[in-house]
Amino acid sequence: MRKIKNALVSVFHKEGLEEILKGLDKNGVELYSTGGTYTYIESLGLKAHKVEDLTSYPSILGGRVKTLHPKVFGGILARRELQEDLEQLDSYKIPQFDLVIVDLYPFEDTVASTNDEATIIEKIDIGGISLIRAAAKNYKDVLILPSANLYPEFLELLKEKNAETNLVDRRYYATQAFAVSSNYDTAIFNYFNADKKIQGLRLSEDAAKELRYGENPHQKGFYYGNLEEVVEQLNGKEISYNNILDIDAAIRLIQDFEETTFAVLKHNNACGIASGNSVLESWNKALAGDPVSAFGGVLICNRPIDAETALEIDKLFYEVLIAPDFSSEALNILSKKRTRILLKLKSSNFATHSVRTALSGFLVQDADSKTESRGEMQAVTKVEPSANEFEDLVFANKIVKHTKSNAMIIVRDKQLIASGVGETSRIDAFKQAIEKAKNFEKTIKGAVLASDAFFPFSDNVEIAQSVGINAVVQPGGSKRDQDSIDYCNKNGMAMCFTGIRHFKH
C-alpha cells in the first residue's frame, strides 16, 4: 500500500471533483494546482499550492505552458526505489507526487461544435496529456486519474482505503490513462487526416456496452459506440447483437425512401417493403410481401406511427419497431408487451466508411451511398419503361442495393412482391423470388425486376419474360450484355442500365 501525500490537480471539467478534493484534504493530502483549478479549490475553502510557486515560472503563452517543468515531471517520474532519484528530488526541492488528477481539453466536443480551426487547435491538450503519460508510466509509485468519467469510482476507492492505493489500483488506472490518451490522439489524427492523404487506420471508441451475447449464445458480444445518438429506446428488453445489425440495416434502407414507406427486415434483408398514401397502407402492403418471414422481424417506418396502424402492427409478433415518432395512443398500444423493443429514430448520420476484419487485418471501403434516380437509368432497349414502370424500377433498385448478393428483386406498384437473397447463382436467386411470389399467390405479371449486378447471359431476361415481367434494371457491364438486349428487343421488353453495381456481402 502507498499513502497519497501529494496530489497534482489540473482539470478542465470540475463537476464531481468537489468530494474528491475534500476527501483528499480530510486525509491530509497536500494539493498542488494551476489556473482555474487552483481558483476552484480555493473557492471550496481548501488550501493548495500554486504550481507557479513550485516552478518559479508563471503560466505563459496564454496558458499554453503551465505544468511543463522538471519540478513537476520530476515529482511524477521519480522512481521511489532508486536512491539516486530520491536524492535528486531532495537536491532540487521537488515534492513526490503520489496522485495526478487530469481532465483533458474537450477536443472531440470542440470539433463537433465548430469549424473554426483556431478554436479547435487550442483544444489540443499538451500539458495534460503529458501528465497522464508520465504518471501512467510510473504507475508503480503514482496513481493517475485521467478523466472526469472516472471521478465516481475513484471517490469510492478514496473512501474505502482512506487515501491509500496498492499496485493493482495504480496499474488499473494506468491502463485507463493509456486508453484516454490513445483515444485522444486518435481523434486528433483523424481530424488532421480528414482528407485521407495518410493511409492509416485509427479506430478508438471508449463507450463499450457488453451485450447478452454475440451472434450466437456461445459468443461474447460488445457494442462500441453511443446507441443513444441514433435511437431512443421507448420500450422493451435489452437490445441484442443481432438486433443492432438489423437496426443498422433497417435505418440504412429506409433513409433511401422519401415517400411514406414501411419495411420489414429479417437477417438484414427486407422481406417486405412498400410505399403508400398513408402509414397504414404502407404497413399492410409491406406485411403482405412476406407475412411468414415477418414473424420475429424488425420493422421500420419513415413516418410517425399512429394509433390505427399500431392496432394492426400489434397483431404481429416482432422484435423491434423503429419510427421517427409515435403518437401517445400508438405508444400505449404497442408498449403493453414489455419485451417489445420500440425505438424513436433520432439520427441516420452514419460513418462515410465501413470497416470489417479480414484475415489478419481490416478491410475499409467507402459506404455505398449511391442511389440511382430515374435520370441515371439509361434505357438500352428499343422499348422504354412506362412512367409507372420507371417508378417501380427506381423503387426496386433501392431495395436491391440493401439486399445480400446475389440478389433479385421483384416489385409492382411500389411494393416488394418477392426477393431472391444471398444465392450463389443469380438464376437461383431469381427462381427463389418467383417461387416465393407464387407461394403467396402474388401476381408477377406487370411487375419489374432489379438485379444488384449484371447478367452474364440472357437467361434471366428470358425467365422474366416468361413470367410476365417486361421491365428490368441492372448495372450492365457484361461482355455479353448484347445477348440480353437482343432478347428484350425481340420480345418487346424494356431494360435499363445504371452503370452502378451494388454487391453486398
Residues noted as catalytic: 137, 267
SS3 sequence of 222-250? EEECCHHHCEEEEECCCCCHHHHHHHHHH
How far is CA 237 from each of CA 219, 240, 305, 318, 342, rounded to the nearest angstrom? 20, 9, 20, 12, 9
Cβ neighbours around 135 below 10 Å, total: 29
Do you know the residue count of the chain? 505
- Going by the DSSP 8-state scheme, the letter that residue 374 receives in this structure is G
How far is CA 486 from each of CA 382, 384, 385, rounded to the nearest angstrom? 10, 14, 16
Q: Output Rg (C-alpha) for the chain, integer angstroms.
A: 31
- Alpha carbon 47 to its chain's center: 45
Coil, strand, or helix at residue 426? helix
Which residues neighbour 66 within 8 Å (Cβ) at sequence distance 6 or greater? 10, 34, 35, 51, 59, 127
Cβ neighbours around 48 below 10 Å, total: 21
- Going by the DSSP 8-state scheme, the letter that residue 96 receives in this structure is P
Residue 181's H or E segment, with its range, is helix 167-192
- Measured between alpha carbons, how far is 28 from 6 in angstroms, rounded to an integer? 9
**Residue 310, class by beta-carbon neighbours within 10 Å (0-12 exposed, 13-18 middle, 19+ buried)?**
buried
- Going by the DSSP 8-state scheme, the letter that residue 337 receives in this structure is S
64 CB-side CA count, 13 A: 5
- Measured between alpha carbons, how far is 96 from 142 in angstroms, rounded to an integer? 9
Cell of 283: 404497413
Coil, strand, or helix at residue 51? helix
- Measured between alpha carbons, how far is 6 from 16 in angstroms, rounded to an integer? 20
Beta strands 208-210 and 494-497 are: unpaired
- Measured between alpha carbons, how far is 54 from 78 in angstroms, rounded to an integer? 16
Question: Under a CB-based contact definition with an 8 Å cutoff, are residues 319 and 297 in contact?
Answer: yes
How far is CA 392 from each of CA 210, 256, 411, 447, 500, rounded to the nearest angstrom? 42, 14, 6, 8, 18
Amino acid at 419: S
**Residue 20, class by beta-carbon neighbours within 10 Å (0-12 exposed, 13-18 middle, 19+ buried)?**
buried
